Amino acid sequence: MALKLVKTGLFSSIQVPFNFIEYAAKEELHTAARELDMGILAMKPFAGGMIDNAAIAFKFLRQYPDVIPIPGYDSVDSVDEVVSFYQSPNIVTERDTRLMDKYRKELGKQFCRRCEYCQPCPNGVMITPAMAYKIIASRMSPAVSVEFSRAAMESVKLCDDCGACIERCPYELPIPEMLKSSYDLYEQHLAELK
Ligand code: SF4
Ligand code: SF4
């Protein structure tokens, strides 16, 4: 659809997700936009928070100098950090490439982008934070992960598989299945902490 719209020539810019995990746009879509001299904006430069390393995210993005990333900022310090990346040449080393691959492998193809289009759940399941449990657990200890996510994970028990969220998810994620798998890990952590 985005490609069709670009080709109409009616628009002056295009804004779609673009980061080292979701980079399909760089093929046809960005090429078509460039041919029409359109501005290209990179939405979700941190993949909805899945990339927790701003330096590596920008190393990837700066390889496309005509693509303008539009990150969300929560402090003046984070603005300063991003500005600092642009004060030296962009060098992507083999180590950087390996790190990007590690993120891709860890997330796989099915991961939540935290867009929240699936919500609200009629049963009150806190879908987005519960979907993030595995990522949280990969970065924090089980004790901290359990404490941090307790409310969201306890809400998973309210899921009755109605499927309403699946219909709303633009990435067609099997949400109840993924929630159950996150919950299994949460339960395992609870058991370990007893
Ligand atoms: S499938 Fe589960 S999480 Fe999704 S909307 Fe229904 S009850 Fe909520
Ligand atoms: S709609 Fe899909 S990608 Fe977006 S927050 Fe819900 S589960 Fe995640």
Please list every protein residue whose CB sits less than 6 Å from any atom of ligand 2.
Answer: 112-118, 127-128, 131, 168-169, 171, 173, 175
Report the pLDDT value the prediction gives residue 186, as an integer from 0 to 100.
97
Task: Among 119, 121, 160, 182, name the best residue to mutate to test ligand 1's pocket (greatest count of ligand atoms within 8 A of Cβ).
Answer: 121
Beta-carbon contacts of 92 under 8 Å, excluding residues fewer than 6 positions away, are 59, 60, 63
Say if residue 181's pLDDT is above 90.
yes
Confidence of residue 66 (pLDDT cuts 50, 70, 90): very high
| Spatial distance between the Cα atoms of 98 and 82, rounded to a whole number of angstroms | 22
Mean of per-residue pLDDT scores for the chain: 93
Do residues 112 and 178 make contact, with C-beta atoms less than 8 angstroms apart? yes
DSSP-derived 3-state class of residue 16: strand
At 103, which helix (H) or strand (E)?
A: helix 94-107
Interior/surface letters 77-110, b for 16+ CB within 10 angstroms, e for the rest: eeeeebeeeeeeeeeeeeebeebbeebeeebeee
For ligand 1, whether the C-beta of 175 sits within 6 Å is yes
Closest by CA position to 6, among listed 23, 29, 24: 29
Phi, psi of 110 (to 5 degrees): -100, 95
In this structure, the residue with its CA closest to atom 4 of ligand 1 is: 165
In angstroms, what is the C-alpha Rg of the chain?
A: 19
Instruction: For domain 2-107, give the CATH number.
Output: 3.20.20.100
Percent of the chain with pLDDT over 70: 100
For the segment 113-137, what is each residue's pLDDT rounded down to a tens digit? 888 999 999 999 999 999 999 888 8
The ligand that comes nearest to the alpha carbon of residue 177 is: 1
Do residues 64 and 90 make contact, with C-beta atoms less than 8 angstroms apart? no
| Spatial distance between the Cα atoms of 23 and 25, rounded to a whole number of angstroms | 5
The ligand that comes nearest to the alpha carbon of residue 121 is: 1
